[in-house]
Amino acid sequence: MVAPLKLKRQKSPSKKIKLSSSDQLDGLLVEVLVETPVSYLEQIYTYRVPADLVDTAIVGSLVKIEYGHTVTKGLILRFVTDKESRKHKDLLSVIGNPGMIDESHLAHFQKVRDRFGGNLWSLLNNHIPPIPAKPKRIIQLSTSYAPKKVTSEYLPFIKNEDYGKVTNDLNLKCAISPPAGVLKFKVLVELTKLRFNLGSVLILVSDFREFDYYKEYLANEFKSLFVALDTRADRDARYQSFLAANGDQQVVILANRSGAFTKLPVNSTVIVVNDNDFSHYEQRSPGWNTRDVTLLRSTSTSLIFLNSYHSLEINRLISIGWMDRLNLTESIKCNFHNVDSATSYISVIKDAVKSGNVLVSVAEKGYANVFLCSKCKNMARCNCGGKLRIEKQNAAPSCYLCAKIDQQWRCDHCGNASPFVISKGIDRTAEEIGKAVSGIKVMTSKKDQVALLDPNQNQIVIATRGSEPFTLYSAVILLDCERIYNQATLRAEEESKHLWFDLLSRVKDGGDYYLSLPNNHPATQQVLRRQSFNMDDLLAREQSHLPPFYRTATIKGESHELAKFAENLRGKYSFLLSGPISIDEFKSYLIIRADILSAATLVELLDDVVRVQGVKGRTIFDIRFDTYNL
C-alpha cells in the first residue's frame, strides 16, 4: 500500500512541499516526490530506507525507486513515521551526492512551477545533469587564489553615485547597458570582480558562442575559482562542474539557460546577459525563461541585467521602481550617418577601413532571396506558387517551396528574362561592396560560420544578426533596418533596437555609425540620443493588452476540443482570447492573455485542464506560457 495520492493543486493544509529532517525517524520512512511516467501528475509516496542507505538517504537526496513495475527517480522530501505500520517498498539506491536539493532551493523550483505550471520534475531535470553510475572523486576547488579588491579606477564608465551600489549593496536589483566604445565582456568582467568581493557570482549567457567568448576571459581572471557549466562536456565533467557550482564555496559560475536554477549561497549575485535573446527561452512545455526564473530567486540574491537594450519586461520593473537603471558614462564620440546624410555608406566604408576593420550588418543570409521582373515588376514565382530565389551568383532561380530549378526563367507576364532583386542576402551584399571597395578583403560571417579576423590587416566583415566578431570597429554599417524593424512579430522593434544599440557599443572612439533609416524615424532619434529606454513602447504594449502587462498562454490541440474549451472560457472568465486559429485540417491554436493579477488563476486553470484530460485519456493540450513571440 502507498500513501494517499495528493494532487499538486489539491487544497490541503500543507499546500507547499517542505524539506524537513526534524521529524522523528521511527521506522526510517521517507516521503519521496516521484518522477512518474504520467507527467501531469506529481505524486508523493512513502518508502522505507534500507540499512545500507541510512547514511546517504538524507533529505534532498535523489534516489532510485521502484514505482509500479518500473524503476524511476525520486527526491526525498522528509522523514515520516507511519502510525498505521503499513508495508512500504525500499529505496533502491542514492543517485549522486546526498542532499543535492535543500529547502530554499526547492522553494525556488516551486515558485517557478507556480508561475509557469507543469510539474516540478520538468524543472528538476533541467537543473540536474546526467549523473555517472560511478562518479569520480570530487575535486576540491583551490582557495589559494583570490582577485584583488577592485577600485573605481578600473571602472571609469560607472558613475560615482552608482559605484557604491555596485560595490556594497547586498540586495542590488539593477539593469546596466554598456556605453559606446566599451565591449560588453569588459563591463561583465569588471562587474563580476566587484560582486565577487561580496559572494558567489552566477553569469547566464544566451548561446554557446557567447559562452566560449566569456569563458576565456573569466577563466583567466578567476582561475581555479571559475566554474563553467558546459552542457557539451562529457558526463563526468558536467557532473563535477555541477557539484562545484552548487556547493558552498564562493565561486564564479558561467552557464547557459539551464544554469538559471543553480543553488547559490546568501549574498550571491546573478548577472543575466541579453535577457531578451531567444536562446534564454525554454521551448519544451510549459516553457520558462531565464529572466523570470532569476527574478523569482530569494531576496538574499542580487540581480544584474546586462543588456545593450533591455527587454520591455525589465523596463516595466524599472518604471514601477522595483529595479534601478544604472547609466554608464559615455567616454567616446562617434560620427552618426543615415540615409538622409550627404555621405553614402560606401563612402563611410572606404574612409573607415583605412584605420581599422569595418562591420556591415545585414538582415538575411543567401544571395537574392526575393526578386521581381525588372520590366513589369511582377513577383517571380514557380508553377507551384512559391516565390523564386537565386541562391548564389550566376545560379538559376529555384523555388522556396518545391526546390525546383528554373534554368530558363522568364517572366510569366511579359516574357522578360532580367531579374530585379528586392531582398538581398549577405552574399549579394558582399559581392556589391567588394566591387565598390577594391583591394580590401571582404568576409562574410553567419551563425553557422563566424568569421575569424586577421589581426595583420584591415577587413570588411558582412554579418547576419548574432554572428558579428567580438571586437571594436572603425565603422559599423547597419543595412536592411526597415526590414528588420517592420517584421510581423511581437518583438520586432525590441529586437532591432537591441541589435543597433549592441553594435553601437562596438564603435571605436571617433569611428562611424551608419543607420539605414531616415533622420525623422523615431528609432533613429532614439539611437542618436542614446536612449536605451522608451516609455512610448511600454505605453503601446499596455494599451494593446500585451506583455509585459499581460501574461500569455499559447495552447495547441485538436480543433474540436480547443473550440469547446475556448467557448467555456469566454463564458466564465475575463481572459482575452484570440482564436482558435487553424494550423491544419485537424489542429488549431489559441492565445489567452491575462493581466498580471489574474495570471495565477490562468496557470492553475490550465494545469487542472491538463490533469483532467490525462485522467480521462484524452489528447493533452500543448501549453506554452510567455513564449518569446506570439
Claim to verify: residue 470 and residue 511 sit in the same structural domain: yes
136 in any annotated domain = no
Query: What confidence category does residue 1 fall into, taking pLDDT thresholds of 50, 70 and 90?
Result: very low
CATH number at residue 219: 3.40.50.300
Q: Supply 540's cell numbers.
A: 503601446
Question: Do β-strands 62-67 and 93-95 pair in parallel, antiparallel, or remain unpaired?
Answer: antiparallel
CATH number at residue 604: 3.30.70
Start-to-end C-alpha separation, the chain: 47
Claim to verify: residue 279 and residue 193 sit in the same structural domain: yes
DSSP one-letter code for 140: P
Per-residue confidence (pLDDT) for residue 568, from 0 to 100: 86
Claim to verify: residue 159 and residue 301 sit in the same structural domain: yes
Query: What confidence category does residue 203 fall into, taking pLDDT thresholds of 50, 70 and 90?
Result: very high
276 in any annotated domain = yes
402 in any annotated domain = yes
Region 309-329: mean pLDDT is: 88
Claim to verify: residue 110 and residue 174 sit in the same structural domain: no
Per-residue confidence (pLDDT) for residue 82, from 0 to 100: 67
Q: Which of 468, 499, 532 is the last residue of a domain?
A: 532
Per-residue confidence (pLDDT) for residue 89, from 0 to 100: 86
Report how many helices (DSSP H) and strands (DSSP E) the chain contains, helices first.
16, 26
Claim to verify: residue 61 and residue 158 sit in the same structural domain: no
Claim to verify: residue 404 and residue 453 sit in the same structural domain: yes
Q: What is the pLDDT of residues 267-317, one digit of tens each?
A: 999 999 999 999 999 888 778 999 999 999 988 899 999 998 899 999 999
Query: What confidence category does residue 140 fall into, taking pLDDT thresholds of 50, 70 and 90?
Result: low
CATH number at residue 89: 3.40.1440.60
Q: Which of 127, 161, 184 is the last residue of a domain?
A: 127
Residues 6 or more apart in contact with residue 28 via CB below 8 angstroms: 48, 49, 54, 79
Claim to verify: residue 486 and residue 409 sit in the same structural domain: yes
pLDDT over 70 (residue 137): no
Which three-class secondary structure state does DSSP give residue 558? Answer: strand
Claim to verify: residue 513 and residue 567 sit in the same structural domain: no
pTM of the predicted protein model = 0.86
Claim to verify: residue 190 and residue 70 sit in the same structural domain: no
C-alpha to C-alpha distance for 176 and 188, rounded to whole angstroms = 10
Count of residues in the chain: 630
- Burial readout 352-378 (b: 16 or more C-beta within 10 A, e: otherwise): bbeeebbbbbbbbbbbbbbbbbeeeee
Q: Which of 270, 301, 326 is the last residue of a domain?
A: 326
- Whether 270 contacts 303, CB under 8 Å: yes
Residues 6 or more apart in contact with residue 15 via CB below 8 angstroms: none
Least Cα distance to 441 among 459, 424, 455, 427 occurs for 459
Q: What is the DSSP annotation of 582-617?
A: ESSSSEEEEEEEEEGGGHHHHHHHHHHHHHHHHHTT
HSE-CB at 81 with a 13 A cutoff on CA atoms is 6
- Give the Å distances, CA to CA, from 344 to 39, 81, 461, 504, 513: 59, 80, 18, 18, 12
139 in any annotated domain = no
Which three-class secondary structure state does DSSP give residue 557? Answer: strand
- Whether 365 contacts 423, CB under 8 Å: no
Residue spans of beta strands (DSSP E) within 55-185: 62-67, 70-80, 93-95, 173-176
121 in any annotated domain = yes
- Give the Å distances, CA to CA, from 138 to 59, 141, 233, 245: 21, 9, 17, 12
Per-residue confidence (pLDDT) for residue 584, from 0 to 100: 84
345 in any annotated domain = yes
Query: What confidence category does residue 515 fall into, taking pLDDT thresholds of 50, 70 and 90?
Result: very high
20 in any annotated domain = no
Q: Supply 599's cell numbers.
A: 495570471
Claim to verify: residue 306 and residue 342 sit in the same structural domain: no
Region 132-136: mean pLDDT is: 73
Claim to verify: residue 116 and residue 224 sit in the same structural domain: no
Per-residue confidence (pLDDT) for residue 42, from 0 to 100: 65
C-alpha to C-alpha distance for 351 and 215, rounded to whole angstroms = 35
Could you tell me the residue range of the domain that residue 100 belongs to? 29-127
Query: What confidence category does residue 45 fall into, taking pLDDT thresholds of 50, 70 and 90?
Result: confident
Claim to verify: residue 388 and residue 414 sit in the same structural domain: yes
Q: What is the DSSP annotation of 311-353?
A: -HHHHHHHHTTSSEEEPBPP----EEEETTSSS-HHHHHHHHT
Least Cα distance to 307 among 466, 532, 152 occurs for 532
Q: What is the pLDDT of residues 383-434, one digit of tens each?
A: 776 777 777 777 777 786 777 787 777 787 787 777 777 677 888 888 889 8
Per-residue confidence (pLDDT) for residue 3, from 0 to 100: 41
5 in any annotated domain = no
What is the tally of structural domains in the chain?
4
Per-residue confidence (pLDDT) for residue 41, from 0 to 100: 65
